[in-house]
């Protein structure tokens, strides 16, 4: 039987993996992180990830919508509910559109690395 993890926990794991990548990719490791093809692979994965962000952003706000639909939504501090929901919708739309532009930019960056390579000699491989 598998353990249930709420959806936001999976985003926490994804963020931790990105943090690990940022740490491990700071310098060549001499094995699998030193050539243009490695950049191509990393950028391909980032492009794939970025391509899913707009949907994730939209879906991350669904619990708010569901609470509104059930009549259980409230705002702390007496803030206007309609104004708050309009602000959420606007911010979500801006974030999703920005994520789409990011995905496009990373896809372009990925494509620019496609023809890149390295000439590897025996001396280069052995220090």
Rounded Cα distance between 36 and 29, Å, is 14
Alpha carbon distance 76, 25 (integer Å): 43
Helix and strand element counts for the chain (H, E):
5, 0
pLDDT for res 28: 86
Torsion on CA atoms 60, 64, 66, 71, rounded to nearest 10: 180
pLDDT digits (tens, 9 = 90+) for 31-79: 788 999 999 999 999 999 999 999 999 999 999 999 999 999 999 988 8
Dig out the tokens for 80 from the structure. 């206007």
Residue 1 has pLDDT above 70, yes or no: no
Tell me the pLDDT of the chain averaged across its residues. Answer: 92
Q: Give pLDDT, residue 122.
A: 74
Q: What average pLDDT does this structure show over 84-104?
A: 97
Provide the 8-state DSSP code for 114: T
| Alpha-carbon separation of residue 75 from 6, 72, 83, 86, 124 (angstroms) | 23, 10, 10, 13, 62
Q: CA angle at residue 41 from 5 to 116, to 5 degrees?
A: 165
- Specify the pTM: 0.82
């Amino acid at each position: 039987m598998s353990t249930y993890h709420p959806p936001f926990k999976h985003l926490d794991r994804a963020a931790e993996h990105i943090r690990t990548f940022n740490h491990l990719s700071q310098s060549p490791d001499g094995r699998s992180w030193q050539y243009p093809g490695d950049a191509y692979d990393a950028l391909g994965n980032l492009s794939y990830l970025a391509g899913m962000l707009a949907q994730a952003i939209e879906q991350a706000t669904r619990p708010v919508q569901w609470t509104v639909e059930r009549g259980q939504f409230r705002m702390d501090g007496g803030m206007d509910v309609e104004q708050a929901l309009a602000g959420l919708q606007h911010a979500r739309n801006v974030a999703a559109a920005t994520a789409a532009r990011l995905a496009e930019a990373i896809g372009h960056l990925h494509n620019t690395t496609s023809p890149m390579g390295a000439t590897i000699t025996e001396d280069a491989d052995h220090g």
